[in-house]
Each structure stands twice: as structure tokens, then as C-alpha cells.
């Protein structure tokens, strides 16, 4: 894309206007008898995000809830396959996921995401896209030592050898949430206990009813 193309694209954006639909997100949610929510699981590789996200979705499905699970590896096969792992690409990855999560929530769904999402500013940006109370940040606080000991994919070993650049926890930082809605250490809690914490939070906040 040339500089002229970029300039023309920028001018075009000024002529794009938001169109409000006749059906409100609240009407879609009412059909499903649930409060649209994004449950954002964040933590180091190996902390248990994907495992827990799948368990939570199964429990919600069994309770008759309408859900969608977005997992980091799967998303990079499609929507974000053009992105690498530089700081800028990671920010763009989360920006895209945030926008898609917002659309799914507006469709009335309970969205569960499983992303390292290492940078606090990126997670905070996603929170601003959603109504108050609709973003539930769940920090899987499992330590680096435990995550590295698990290393099911062999990623930490490769990162230690310098074979993977910008690897969170080794050569790139992870900025832990300061005030997440939930903090879970999967080294001390079982998968079922961790899932119970999330489900109980959803019931307590009346996102779903019994």
C-alpha cells in the first residue's frame, strides 16, 4: 500500500457512519435468558487457560446457556494468521479478539476466551469495549515454575534455547492484572474447583440464574 493509498483510506474513514439496528443487544440477550458477558482467561502458557475455558463452556452448555469459546491457537489459524509475536502484533491480536468478543456479546452470547494476553493495556482496552460488568477478567496466577514444569508443548524448552523469540515469561514480560474479577492458581485447585469458582461468580452476579 502506497502513502497515497493510506491517505485515501484515512479520508474514506471520515465518511463511514455507525448504523444503529432495529434490534437491541438487550433483546437478543432476553431471548437467551442470560446476561451477555466476556469471560477473559489470562495467564502464562501452561497455566491451564484452554483446559479451564473448555470446562467452563461445557458446564454452561449443560446449564442451557448459549456460549462461544475462542482459543488463542485456533484464532491464529484464521482471523490472526497474518500476525507474529512482536509486541505490536500481540496488541493487534488482542484488539481483533476484543472486537469479535464485543460482537458476540452483542449477539447475546457468553464468550469465553483463552489468551495469554500479556499486556495490561491491551486487556484494559477490551474492557472498555463492553458495558460495565460485562468483562470478567480471570487471572490464572499459576507460577512460571509450575507452568514451565508442565510444558506440554515443549515451548519453554525452546524459548530457553533461544528458538522462540518474544516468549512470555522468558524473553517477554507478563503484566499480571492488578484487580481481576477472579484470581485462580491451578497448581493448588483442581480443574473442577477452578470451574466452580467461575460458575459461582456468574450465579452471584446474576449473569446466569439457577
Sign of the dihedral defined by the CA atoms of residues 194, 199, 200, 201, in that order = positive
Could you tell me if 47 and 140 are in contact, meaning their C-beta atoms sit under 8 angstroms apart? yes
The residue extents of the domains of the chain are 35-204
Sign of CA dihedral 7, 129, 143, 151: negative
- pLDDT for the residue 1: 43
Interval 28-40: pLDDT, tens:
888 888 899 999 9
Is 47 among the catalytic positions? Answer: no
* Catalytic-role residue among 50, 117, 141, 194: 117
Higher pLDDT, 20 or 196: 196
CATH number for 35-204 (one of 3.40.50.300, 3.40.140.10, 3.20.20.450, 2.40.50.140): it is: 3.40.50.300
88-136 pLDDT tens trace: 888 898 999 999 999 999 999 999 999 999 999 999 999 999 999 999 9
pLDDT at 11: 53
Please state the pTM of the whole predicted model: 0.86
Q: Quick one: pLDDT band at residue 15, thresholds 50, 70, 90? A: confident
Amino acid at each position: 500500500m502506497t502513502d497515497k493509498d493510506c491517505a485515501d483510506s484515512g479520508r474514506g474513514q471520515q465518511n463511514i457512519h455507525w448504523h444503529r439496528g432495529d434490534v437491541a443487544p438487550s433483546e437478543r440477550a432476553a431471548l437467551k435468558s442470560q446476561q451477555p458477558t466476556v469471560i477473559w482467561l489470562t495467564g502464562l502458557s501452561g497455566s491451564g487457560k484452554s483446559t479451564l475455558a473448555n470446562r467452563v463452556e461445557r458446564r454452561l452448555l449443560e446449564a442451557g446457556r448459549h456460549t462461544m469459546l475462542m482459543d488463542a491457537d485456533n484464532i491464529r489459524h484464521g482471523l490472526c494468521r497474518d500476525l507474529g509475536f512482536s509486541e505490536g502484533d500481540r496488541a493487534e491480536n488482542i484488539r481483533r479478539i476484543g472486537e469479535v468478543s464485543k460482537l458476540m456479546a452483542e449477539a447475546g452470547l457468553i464468550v469465553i476466551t483463552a489468551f495469554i494476553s500479556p499486556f495490561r493495556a491491551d486487556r484494559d482496552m477490551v474492557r472498555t469495549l463492553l458495558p460495565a460488568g460485562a468483562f470478567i477478567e480471570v487471572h490464572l496466577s499459576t507460577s512460571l515454575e509450575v507452568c514451565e514444569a508442565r510444558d506440554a508443548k515443549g515451548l519453554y524448552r525452546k524459548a530457553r534455547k533461544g528458538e522462540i523469540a518474544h516468549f512470555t515469561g522468558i524473553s517477554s514480560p507478563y503484566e499480571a492484572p492488578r484487580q481481576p474479577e477472579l484470581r485462580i492458581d491451578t497448581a493448588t485447585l483442581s480443574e473442577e474447583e477452578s470451574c466452580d469458582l467461575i460458575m459461582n461468580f456468574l450465579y452471584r452476579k446474576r449473569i446466569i440464574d439457577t
